[in-house]
A and B are shown apart, each in its own frame.
Chain A
């Protein structure tokens, strides 16, 4: 899968801040990172998205220098840093729990790195004031760390790294400890900071929304490998593997069998016996098991059979309305017993929708995707 990742760096004019080639790390028999290659153009916000245990933390720690890869190479600004200890690498890391030094004030935390870099002491005050202003914390220098709120600590942790002008800033799920509202704010804030400092960010997270909102490029990682690297839009609309389709965004997933294929169009029958049409980006053998992915928001719900011809149209019964404001959904069931989750449009027509009503659900074949089912396991993230 990593070959797609390689393709990113082929664009010759782009100068790369960070590149990895065939990076691997094993713990005993277990391959935490397995032959990962990628390169990140200068000034990009690059996210590595994956479930816990997929090896993303190991990958990040190798980039920071806290772990040595078994094989492969890490290039920062074109130079291999394999033999460079963490304190000499031109990368800085924002730790998961931030790791601000509790025995120092905010200014001392920021000054720590400046001193180590050998910047003359008389310049410290100006640099600290500047960076604190940039993270919107002017005048916070004398505060103790335990006087700061969660969001302020985030900003200090980022300021402490960015004041050193690293080639790459590594972020290890720093938003995990924040509450929802603050996390939403910090997502926008991080993106703003990245653009303002024009530093390459490598951000690892298991939260797809963080990755999609902030990133220029996202790599989806699973079992130590990159499944797909692309823009958030590509990952969402053109997933290349079943894992990406299941992990990025919500999907209805159905196991089924191929009946026939003509070009990109596949006719398939789900386990429950529902006949559907789907788009497929690879040739499939008739009769082979597949998994179908349909996003809740591509399905149209209507009280009567839609007037225009749709590739897939099912008569269903509402079994549950899941009200969640703008993200409201309806769970519906076909006569055959197949369950679907459909996004509920925020229009007056559906406000009175309740369990037991009969409705129609329809979508175009081009809006859903199917992939060959993995031989033994259920697709990840299946409901």
Chain B
């Protein structure tokens, strides 16, 4: 009797386990794994005639033989790395200030201030930057009013505008992990660093940054991924000259109906981002599990 009920309990427990696991399994398999397998398959075929496809590496060789494609590819990667580094440089002092200098109400207030821009959509935020930067925009107007410029200044549609937009969009994703790791740093470690004769720079370099390394890396990974895969910001702020790799993918899929080429680009972007993240972890000697926990 008790054995039977024990069995029943165990069955029930296992059923519960699978039911709880089901959403994530479905999500992963239906929305992530299956589409990617299909993408790989699509990228490896070539249209021979109408509705006739054959196996080919043509889409990948096209990428390497057409300089525009891989130039855009390299440019996107470099710009994303630069944006990630700049975001880190700006976010670190802000996070340190929030986590270690402020306490109580001002601390919460400043954290919410960082969060606030993310209550409106990315589109609206990007339009905000356009209002500021465009030829007839606020900054241009102000420069003319102060007499610093004698004609409207166009500040949109260049790399700096893209960079500004990307950093602004990514800020929060760097600040949150940094504040969390810096918060977990015991203040007495910082004091001990000073007590043993260290200058502020020594303390920062030998104690704070090594401690914050997992947070720095997880922030960098998230920001890098978001930047690399960003479509809206480079397109709106960079205009035609933005040359962002996601735009190439979009063009292949939507404008040219060349799904095979688009899929190949998608796979290449995936490989690129994985490779750079892996390299970043290797260089900083961090493990992926530690960074993500």
Contact, CB under 8 Å: A99 / B197: no
Contact for A86 among B186, B191, B202, B211, CB less than 8 A:
B191
Q: Say yes or no: A96-B188 contact (C-beta < 8 A), given A64-B195, A85-B194, A113-B196.
A: yes
Contact, CB under 8 Å: B192 / A164: no
CA distance A131 to B63 in the complex (A): 63
CA distance A274 to B83 in the complex (A): 84
Contact for A99 among B192, B210, B211, CB less than 8 A:
B192
User: Which residue from chain A places its CB closest to the CB of B197 in the assembled complex?
Assistant: A116
Contact, CB under 8 Å: A101 / B195: no
Scan B77-112; emit 1 where CB is below 8 A from any A CB, else 0: 000000000000000000000000000000000000
26 contacts between A and B (CB under 8 A): A66-B194, A86-B191, A86-B194, A87-B198, A88-B197, A92-B196, A93-B192, A95-B191, A95-B192, A99-B192, A101-B192, A101-B206, A102-B211, A103-B207, A103-B210, A103-B211, A104-B206, A104-B210, A112-B198, A112-B206, A113-B197, A116-B196, A116-B197, A116-B199, A160-B196, A164-B196
Q: Which of B198-212 contact A (CB under 8 A)?
A: 198-199, 202, 206-207, 210-211
Contact, CB under 8 Å: A99 / B194: no
Q: Is A26 an interface residue (CB 8 A)?
A: no
Contact for A101 among B197, B199, B207, CB less than 8 A:
B207
Q: Is A97 an interface residue (CB 8 A)?
A: yes
Q: Is A161 an interface residue (CB 8 A)?
A: yes
Not counting A92-B195, A112-B196, A161-B196, a sample of 14 additional A-B residue pairs whose C-beta atoms are within 8 angstroms of each other reads A66-B194, A85-B194, A86-B194, A92-B196, A93-B195, A95-B192, A101-B189, A101-B206, A103-B210, A103-B211, A104-B210, A112-B193, A116-B202, A160-B196
Contact for A164 among B193, B197, B199, B202, CB less than 8 A:
B197
Interface secondary structure of B, over-half rule? helix
Residues of B within 8 Å of A104, CB to CB, are 206, 210
Residues of A within 8 Å of B192, CB to CB, are 93, 95, 99-101
Scan A100-132; emit 1 where CB is below 8 A from any B CB, else 0: 111110000000110011000000000000000
Residues of B within 8 Å of A160, CB to CB, are 196
Most buried by B among A88, A95, A99, A160: A99
Residues of B within 8 Å of A91, CB to CB, are 195
Residues of B within 8 Å of A117, CB to CB, are 197
CA distance A101 to B196 in the complex (A): 12
User: Which residue from chain A places its CB closest to the CB of B199 in the assembled complex?
Assistant: A87
Q: Which of B173-190 contact A (CB under 8 A)?
A: 186, 188-189
Contact, CB under 8 Å: A86 / B207: no
CA distance A92 to B197 in the complex (A): 9
Q: Say yes or no: A95-B188 contact (C-beta < 8 A), given A103-B211, A112-B206.
A: yes
Residues of A within 8 Å of B210, CB to CB, are 103-104
CA distance A293 to B114 in the complex (A): 61
Residues of B within 8 A of A (CB): 186, 188-189, 191-199, 202, 206-207, 210-211
Scan A69-96; emit 1 where CB is below 8 A from any B CB, else 0: 0000000000000000111100111011
CA distance A104 to B203 in the complex (A): 13
Within the complex, the shortest CB–CB distance from A355 to chain B, in Å, comes to: 49
CA distance A66 to B187 in the complex (A): 12
Within the complex, the shortest CB–CB distance from A375 to chain B, in Å, comes to: 37
Residues of B within 8 Å of A95, CB to CB, are 188, 191-192
Contact, CB under 8 Å: B197 / A97: no
User: Which residue from chain B places its CB closest to the CB of A90 in the assembled complex?
Assistant: B197
Residues of B within 8 Å of A88, CB to CB, are 197
Interchain residue pairs A-B with the least CB separation, the first 10: A116-B197, A113-B196, A99-B192, A103-B210, A99-B188, A87-B194, A95-B188, A86-B194, A93-B195, A99-B189
Most buried by B among A86, A88, A104: A86
User: Which residue from chain A places its CB closest to the CB of B187 in the assembled complex?
Assistant: A99
Residues of A within 8 Å of B207, CB to CB, are 101, 103
CA distance A66 to B198 in the complex (A): 14
Residues of A within 8 Å of B189, CB to CB, are 99, 101
CA distance A112 to B211 in the complex (A): 15
User: Which residue from chain B places its CB closest to the CB of A103 in the assembled complex?
Assistant: B210
CA distance A153 to B32 in the complex (A): 48
Q: Say yes or no: A116-B198 contact (C-beta < 8 A), given A66-B191, A101-B192.
A: yes
Q: Which of A29-49 contact B (CB under 8 A)?
A: none
Residues of A within 8 Å of B198, CB to CB, are 87, 112, 116
Residues of B within 8 Å of A164, CB to CB, are 196-197
CA distance A113 to B199 in the complex (A): 11
User: Which residue from chain B places its CB closest to the CB of A87 in the assembled complex?
Assistant: B194
Scan A163-175; emit 1 where CB is below 8 A from any B CB, else 0: 0100000000000
CA distance A96 to B191 in the complex (A): 12
Residues of A within 8 Å of B197, CB to CB, are 87-88, 113, 116-117, 164
Contact, CB under 8 Å: B186 / A97: yes
CA distance A88 to B200 in the complex (A): 12
User: Which residue from chain A places its CB closest to the CB of B195 in the assembled complex?
Assistant: A93
Residues of A within 8 Å of B194, CB to CB, are 66, 85-87
Within the complex, the shortest CB–CB distance from B188 to chain A, in Å, comes to: 4
Within the complex, the shortest CB–CB distance from A292 to chain B, in Å, comes to: 43
Within the complex, the shortest CB–CB distance from B253 to chain A, in Å, comes to: 46
CA distance A242 to B206 in the complex (A): 49
